[in-house]
A and B are shown apart, each in its own frame.
Chain A
């Protein structure tokens, strides 16, 4: 069975500092990995995805993620955090059956402190 783990419930970082939100996965076959962000009382907004190719994926709002096959990780990163980045972040793996549904992690709350 496929699964995603986000080991940190919350990450605090000072504005201007680099941030990392961790994600590890377990899949059979090739992983299709995604990051989404959720602001309060809102739906999920797509940030970036890894399908194949370069291990460093660039996405929206200056975010990037590093795919590491040997460590089965897909950590979200940003070189310089903004207060407006404060939100709930979800890592997801796509089910490899025909539905292509997502299996989400439990989420990591990011707080960027001014």
Chain B
């Protein structure tokens, strides 16, 4: 297992279209996070899964966004009716353990461009 994998790496879509991103975390990592990073900013938290349960959603996650993690393995992030403001890098991270001591591992991200 070589790390967190995200697909696709790049996505260009027209405004109003739906897009879906996939994240494959490191095996045995029960915690999975989605972050969004816009130009010149640090990553911002979107949502968190512990196993298959989505336990927290940021207010940044409007009702056009939905995330799933069926069976506690891979996760998908879907954006419906995309807007130009959705253009960003979407990062997935996974982490093992039940303490704050372990670090999260990030995928290479999916860069979304809405035209």
Does A associate with B in a complex?
yes
| Residues of A participating in the B interface, judged by any CB pair closer than 8 Å | 4, 32, 34, 36, 41-46, 49, 51, 90, 92, 94, 96-107
Asked if B56 is an interface residue, CB under 8 A from chain A, the answer is yes
A and B contact pairs by CB, cutoff 8 A, 13 listed: A32-B100, A41-B108, A41-B111, A44-B93, A45-B106, A49-B103, A99-B48, A99-B56, A100-B100, A101-B33, A101-B45, A102-B35, A107-B42
Contacting pair A101 B48 (CB below 8 A): yes
Asked if B72 is an interface residue, CB under 8 A from chain A, the answer is no
| Residues of B participating in the A interface, judged by any CB pair closer than 8 Å | 4, 6, 31, 33, 35, 40-45, 48, 55-56, 91, 93, 95, 100-101, 103-109, 111
- Least Cβ distance of B53 to chain A in Å? 12
Bound complex: CA A97 to CA B106 (Å): 20
Closest partner residue, chain B, to A41 (CB atom): B111
Contacting pair B109 A42 (CB below 8 A): yes
Q: Specify which chain A residues have a CB less than 8 angstroms from the CB of B35 in the assembled complex.
A: 102
Bound complex: CA A102 to CA B100 (Å): 11
Q: Specify which chain B residues have a CB less than 8 angstroms from the CB of A43 in the assembled complex.
A: 4, 6, 91, 106-109
- Least Cβ distance of B18 to chain A in Å? 24
Q: Among the interface residues B42, B56, B91, which one has the most CB atoms of the partner chain A within 10 A?
A: B42
Contacting pair B101 A51 (CB below 8 A): yes
Contacting pair A90 B42 (CB below 8 A): yes
Q: Specify which chain B residues have a CB less than 8 angstroms from the CB of A51 in the assembled complex.
A: 100-101
Q: Specify which chain A residues have a CB less than 8 angstroms from the CB of B56 in the assembled complex.
A: 97, 99, 101
Q: Specify which chain B residues have a CB less than 8 angstroms from the CB of A104 in the assembled complex.
A: 42-44
Q: Among the interface residues B93, B106, B111, which one has the most CB atoms of the partner chain A within 10 A?
A: B106
Q: Specify which chain B residues have a CB less than 8 angstroms from the CB of A101 in the assembled complex.
A: 33, 45, 48, 56
Contacting pair A100 B31 (CB below 8 A): yes
Q: A43-B4, A101-B56 are in contact. Are A96 and B41 (CB under 8 A)?
A: no
- Least Cβ distance of B50 to chain A in Å? 8
Contacting pair A90 B106 (CB below 8 A): no
- Least Cβ distance of B85 to chain A in Å? 19
Bound complex: CA A104 to CA B37 (Å): 10
